[in-house]
Structure 1
Amino acid sequence: MKKLVLIASALFFLHTACAQMATASDINIATKYAKTIKASDLKKLLYVYASDDFEGRMTGEPGQKKAVNFLKDHYIKYQVPSAFGGDDYFQSIPKSYLRDKYNDSENVLAFIKGSEKPNEVLVISAHLDHIGISKNGEINNGADDDGSGTIAVLEIARAFQKAVHDGHRPKRSILFLHVTGEEIGLFGSRYYTDNPVFPLENTVTDLNIDMIGRVDPKHEGKPNYLYLIGSDRLSKELHDISEAVNKKYTKLDFDYTYNDKNDRNRFYYRSDHYNFAKNNIPVIFYFNGTHADYHRPSDTPDKINYAFYETRTRLIFYTAWELANRKDRVKLDGTDVKTD
């Protein structure tokens, strides 16, 4: 009996050690690819995307068309596949769906298929449009809003594809979703959820990135921070995972001020994650808060805090890595769950 106990004990400790080694290995792998997301690359891309050449990226206008082709070309360059196959990355949105006077537009969809649970899909989203040219002819470049989110999604996709290339394909599928028409009423994300490419019931979470490159007045001179909105509204488990990932990897100061249900700004309802939340899909909205350059021509790439931007983008990558690779999808158990 004593010998059996010793053998059982040895096996237990061996199992425990192997589990710890696997955990350490997973951390090392995630860290390796997170570190491929660099401030220098984010800056280089954002200076192009938020340049005058893109004419403020107004929905349906030539600058927005240039923006979607910029994204398509980079996904092809990074070898991140289209959600539709081939070189077709666009989900076309007809003029009839948009508000009056806007031209046809398009969302951009790139996709990495999961290795073990390919039918379960994690969405990482940002809006690709902005408010265009002012009446006085000034271009609203929208570097923070939402050039910062757009380029973050692109570089997160690039990091995941590098992992795939090295044999570390995520267990779940990931949809990198760039939506149009946010500034005129969340039309691109609404069109996607009305016409989903992947069933909404298989969509595990939406991580939505809308303005993550600047510092708002409340946090001037303080450590790196990020507002998180909605993380506990539909899934308390998602909130806990998000907190744990931050504690493990990035140690940002999470500010939940705008997650208050009495928030007068109503930011929870004002970005593209909301169209997923309406459909009982857990969400996190990442946001740096507003600033004096919000929706003005002065929202330019030279005002981005690139060190903060890099760490924030890496945080979202780490969170996506955890959600895409954990054993079970997050549970729908929050206070805002809609029931029949």
Structure 2
Amino acid sequence: MKKVLFSALTVVLVSCGAHQSKQIEDINPMDYAESITSKELKEHLYIFAGDDFEGRETGEPGQKKAAEYLKKEYKSLEIISPIGGDDYYQEVPSSMFRGDVKDSENVLAYIPGSEMPNEILVISSHYDHVGMDDEGNVFNGADDDGSGTVAILEIAEAFTKARKDGFTPKRSILFLNVTGEEKGLIGSKYYTDNPVFALSQTVANLNIDMIGRTDEAHKKNDNYVYLIGSDKLSTELHELSEAVNAKYTKLDLDYTYNDENDPNRFYYRSDHYNFAKNDIPIIFYFNGVHADYHKMTDTPDKIRYDLLEKRARLVFLTAWEIANRAERPAVDKGAETSSK
């Protein structure tokens, strides 16, 4: 059934893409990146990381509210479900989890490509957090990973604005909001074990997990973001990422945690890893840990919305380049190969 739906969409949307009157190569993507604003990010996050969502514990009512919020936003942007109709949820059964965890959902939304719809770029974040304590205190998870989740909503809006102007991306884009990251990367594992689009069609994964704060190492220079994994599977993806940043956002790209010998092992600790295990090139965007990590004090008032804006724009601009270039990023094992 999924294959039938996708084939039908392919026919319709390739036809639509053929009638685009303007050349996407002639567009400055910053015109759309600038629609990603600190104001709108803040508006989303004060809702998404508010007490009403009860810390977004996997399988609990707050997580369900968060899923509904994401679905509503995608529908308002007229971004369709890749599953079909009004169903934006990929059910993740309780059998996937250890302990007493209820069924949960990944939230998926999809922009079909105009020229290469069978090639998929996945932009991901996890939208779950750790819930509440026994006294009912809420762990809001504004940075972890409310920041990444609202960044995806703004990135989706930027692509929607471009599409309405006649610039549908050449490749398809899947916005993947996964559940159960805090339970052991379960939502992303479920997706890669049960992909809506074949993993062979997935050209890259850009994963966002905590991009709204700064860490101790960057007190004197906060114009940064940590990049992890960009060179591990594809030298081409790494070089593309560097070029996009140099041209547009000019953040300091910090590769400290990309070191295979780094004891934190962040490369293995967020949802991109389930794509990387399947030889899909990835980039993990991260601001580092801080004193409020997994505490009740990770609240929306502590987010640096100016930095969140700039980092989200970098992800959008990188996604734009991947989605519209002639070839998908080649897998050459990147750093793995060069280190041998």
1:3 corresponds to which residue? none
Structure 2: tracts of 5 or more residues without a match: 1-22
Q: Secondary structure at the match of 1:285?
A: strand
Instruction: List 4+ stretches of structure 1 deviating above 4 A.
Output: none
* Alignment of 1:147 onto 2:143: no
Question: Structure 2: which amino acid aligns with 1:128?
Answer: Y
Cα distance, 1:23 vs. partner? 9.1
Worse overlay, 168-177 or 83-92: 83-92
Summarize deviations over 1:109-162 as a string: whole Å, max 9, x none.
Answer: 000000110000000000010001123432100000000000001110111011
1:114 corresponds to which residue? 113
Question: Structure 2: which amino acid aligns with 1:329?
Answer: R
Question: Structure 1: which amino acid aligns with 2:61?
Answer: P
Q: Secondary structure at the match of 1:183?
A: helix
- CA–CA distance in 2 between the matches of 1:253 and 1:23? 28
**What is the correspondence of 1:309-328 to structure 2 with a 5 Å cutoff?**
309-328=308-327
Question: Structure 2: which amino acid aligns with 1:57?
Answer: R
Worse overlay, 236-245 or 218-227: 218-227
2:218 corresponds to which residue? 219
* Alignment of 1:55 onto 2:54: yes
Summarize deviations over 1:260-303 as a string: whole Å, max 9, x none.
Answer: 00010010000000000000000000000000000000000000
Cα distance, 1:78 vs. partner? 1.1
| Contact map agreement 2:24 2:167 (CA 8 A) in 1 | no
2:26 corresponds to which residue? 25
Q: Secondary structure at the match of 2:124?
A: strand
- CA–CA distance in 2 between the matches of 1:80 and 1:336? 37
- CA–CA distance in 1 between the matches of 2:266 and 2:113? 32
- From the superposition, tell whether residues 44 and 327 of structure 1 become closer, same or farther in structure 2 (CA, over 3 Å): same
Structure 1: tracts of 5 or more residues without a match: 1-21
Question: Structure 2: which amino acid aligns with 1:285?
Answer: F
Cα distance, 1:107 vs. partner? 0.1
- CA–CA distance in 1 between the matches of 2:122 and 2:24? 24
Q: How many residues align?
A: 314
| Contact map agreement 1:80 1:158 (CA 8 A) in 2 | no
- CA–CA distance in 1 between the matches of 2:26 and 2:212? 31
- CA–CA distance in 2 between the matches of 1:40 and 1:335? 38
2:229 corresponds to which residue? 230
- CA–CA distance in 2 between the matches of 1:98 and 1:336? 32
- CA–CA distance in 2 between the matches of 1:238 and 1:139? 39
* Structure-2-length-normalised TM-score: 0.91
- CA–CA distance in 1 between the matches of 2:101 and 2:180? 9
Question: Structure 2: which amino acid aligns with 1:58?
Answer: E
1:244 corresponds to which residue? 243
Question: Structure 1: which amino acid aligns with 2:260?
Answer: K
- CA–CA distance in 2 between the matches of 1:224 and 1:335? 25
Cα distance, 1:91 vs. partner? 0.2
* Alignment of 1:185 onto 2:175: no
- CA–CA distance in 2 between the matches of 1:148 and 1:290? 13
**What is the correspondence of 1:74-153 to structure 2 with a 5 Å cutoff?**
74-153=73-152
Q: Identity of paired residues, percent?
A: 64
- CA–CA distance in 1 between the matches of 2:330 and 2:189? 23
* Structure-1-length-normalised TM-score: 0.91
- CA–CA distance in 2 between the matches of 1:98 and 1:162? 38
| Contact map agreement 1:129 1:181 (CA 8 A) in 2 | yes
| Contact map agreement 2:214 2:222 (CA 8 A) in 1 | no
